[in-house]
């Protein structure tokens, strides 16, 4: 018999489509298992200030299809301090919350890990980030929707790129991870992707141009992952203007539109499965784990592994992109 009678749930860091589906699944699974649920607003910030509301099943009705997060989110600096975390713990004790489910990316799980260790407190994490950069799970909540958004945007840019015979550099999000750029390029039929995982190994721009970009085509599209090491789309375009002035170059930065929109079927299903698994994990006395999905199966990944290990990019995909872009 689990000693957990009341759980708190929060979303933190950058929002991601599918977070609401996860909130719904966690809430309903907890209630199904006889627990009380408290929604904590604005991530760790709400934990410190006590912005908390009890959630019944109807609080999460009609949200599975909505982007963003009904719990709001924030990047909370105070939670990085021992004083802030002490305040957060005081709130949990005051509210009678026995365990936390946190939904977010790397920063959220890092905070969760420190907090769980400091107070010997049960925390289970769900990977919610469009970046897909958490180790131990094949995909993260929000990644598939963001990828589809990128694909739709690139399709539109292609119309104007080919009409003008231009070379477009399109910057996508990913905070130092190339999953969105590489798979976005594959999905949209872009000519190349410039990603941080490869930046230190070779000069991807000159490699791409030497390979014969635009030999058989008049327009080209290159997805660039945002990152200091890639230089971002603006940095790459500046270089092209100087080194290859024959190209008519344009830049588009997709920005935060990548984080919005109704979640895809895959994100909704995955978030729902993971949300139910979070409650199962707590009932099994698991703590300090992130729920992941590997080969369609739910897995528990220790926070230490999910955060610390760099999730490797599938390098075969670079070759697939090269072959299909000739
Ligand atoms: O982690 C998600 C993410 O969208 C990253 O891809 C991006 O670098 C960052 O958040 C942007 O954060 P903010 O919304 O705080 O500007």
307 CA → ligand 1 middle, Å: 17
Establish if 208 belongs to a structural domain: yes
* Binding site membership of 254 for ligand 1 (Cβ less than 6 Å): no
Q: Do 158 and 116 share a structural domain?
A: no
Q: Do 181 and 108 share a structural domain?
A: no
User: Pick from 202, 237, 259: which residue ends a domain?
Assistant: 259
Establish if 313 belongs to a structural domain: no
- Over residues 148-193, the pLDDT tens digits come to 999 999 999 999 999 999 999 999 999 989 999 999 999 999 999 9
Q: Do 153 and 220 share a structural domain?
A: yes
Residues with catalytic roles = 131
Q: Do 67 and 100 share a structural domain?
A: yes
Best probe residue, ligand 1, of 14, 72, 76, 261 (max atoms within 8 Å of C-beta)? 14
Q: Please name every residue paired with 158 in a beta bridge, in sequence order, or none if there are none.
A: none
Q: Do 152 and 238 share a structural domain?
A: yes
* Binding site membership of 235 for ligand 1 (Cβ less than 6 Å): no
Q: Please return the burial class of 122, using the count of CB atoms within 10 Å of its CB with bins 0-12, 13-18 and 19+.
A: buried
Establish if 223 belongs to a structural domain: yes
CATH number at residue 173: 3.40.50.460
Q: Do 107 and 55 share a structural domain?
A: yes
DSSP H or E segment with residue 267: helix 265-283
- Over residues 213-223, the pLDDT tens digits come to 655 568 899 99
Q: Do 171 and 138 share a structural domain?
A: no
- Both tokens assigned to 236: 């790459």
Q: Do 53 and 121 share a structural domain?
A: yes
Minimal-distance CA residue to ligand 1 atom 11: 14
Range of 196's domain? 145-259
**Atom of ligand 1 at shortest range from CA of 258:** 4
Q: Do 267 and 138 share a structural domain?
A: yes
Mean pLDDT of 259-275: 98
Quote the pLDDT of residue 214. 56
Q: Do 108 and 49 share a structural domain?
A: yes
Q: Do 155 and 112 share a structural domain?
A: no
DSSP structural state of residue 216: S
Q: How many residues does the chain have?
A: 326
Establish if 318 belongs to a structural domain: no
CATH number at residue 281: 3.40.50.450
* Binding site membership of 134 for ligand 1 (Cβ less than 6 Å): no
185 CA → ligand 1 middle, Å: 20
Establish if 198 belongs to a structural domain: yes
How far, in Å, CA of 253 to CA of 21, rounded?
Answer: 28
Establish if 323 belongs to a structural domain: no
In total, how many domains does the chain have? 2
How far, in Å, CA of 139 to CA of 294, rounded?
Answer: 8
Minimal-distance CA residue to ligand 1 atom 8: 175
* Least-confidence region, from 35-39, 136-140, 164-168, 215-219: 215-219
Q: What share of the chain is helix, strand, coil (3-state, %, to 5)?
A: 45, 20, 35
User: Pick from 235, 259, 283: which residue ends a domain?
Assistant: 259
In whole numbers, what is the pLDDT of the chain averaged over residues? Answer: 96
How far, in Å, CA of 20 to CA of 157, rounded?
Answer: 30
User: Helix or strand or coil: residue 102?
Assistant: strand
Nearest one of 126, 49, 41 to 94, comparing CA atoms: 49
Establish if 86 belongs to a structural domain: yes
- Over residues 198-207, the pLDDT tens digits come to 988 999 999 9
Q: Do 63 and 149 share a structural domain?
A: no
């Amino acid at each position: 018999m689990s000693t957990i009678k009341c759980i708190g749930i929060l979303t933190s860091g950058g929002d991601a489509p599918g977070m609401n589906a996860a909130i719904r699944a966690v809430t309903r699974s907890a209630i199904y298992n006889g627990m009380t649920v408290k929604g904590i607003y604005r991530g760790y910030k709400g934990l410190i200030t006590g912005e908390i509301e009890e959630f019944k099943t109807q609080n999460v009705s009609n949200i599975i299809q909505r982007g963003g997060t009904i719990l709001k989110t924030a990047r909370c600096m105070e939670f990085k301090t021992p004083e802030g975390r002490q305040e957060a713990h005081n709130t949990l004790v005051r509210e009678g919350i026995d365990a936390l489910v946190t939904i977010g990316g790397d920063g959220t799980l890092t905070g969760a890990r420190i907090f769980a260790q400091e107070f010997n407190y049960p925390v289970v994490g769900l990977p919610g980030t469009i970046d897909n950069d958490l180790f131990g799970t094949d995909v993260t909540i929000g990644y598939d929707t963001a990828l589809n958004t990128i694909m739709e945007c690139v399709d539109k840019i292609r119309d104007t790129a080919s009409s003008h015979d231009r070379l477009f550099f399109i910057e996508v999000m990913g905070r130092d991870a190339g999953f969105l750029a590489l798979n976005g390029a594959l999905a949209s039929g872009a000519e190349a992707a410039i990603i941080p995982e490869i930046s230190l190994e070779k000069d991807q721009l000159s490699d791409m141009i030497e390979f014969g970009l635009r030999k058989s085509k008049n327009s080209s599209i290159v997805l660039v992952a945002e990152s200091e090491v890639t230089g971002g789309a603006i940095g790459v375009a500046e270089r092209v203007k100087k080194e290859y002035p024959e190209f008519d170059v344009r830049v588009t930065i997709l920005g935060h539109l990548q984080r919005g929109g109704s979640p895809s079927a895959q994100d909704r299903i995955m978030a729902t499965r993971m949300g139910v698994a979070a409650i199962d994990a707590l009932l099994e006395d698991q703590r300090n784990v992130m729920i992941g999905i590997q080969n369609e199966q739910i897995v528990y990944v220790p926070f230490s592994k999910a955060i610390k290990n760099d999730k490797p990019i599938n390098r075969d995909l670079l070759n697939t992109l090269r072959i299909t872009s000739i």
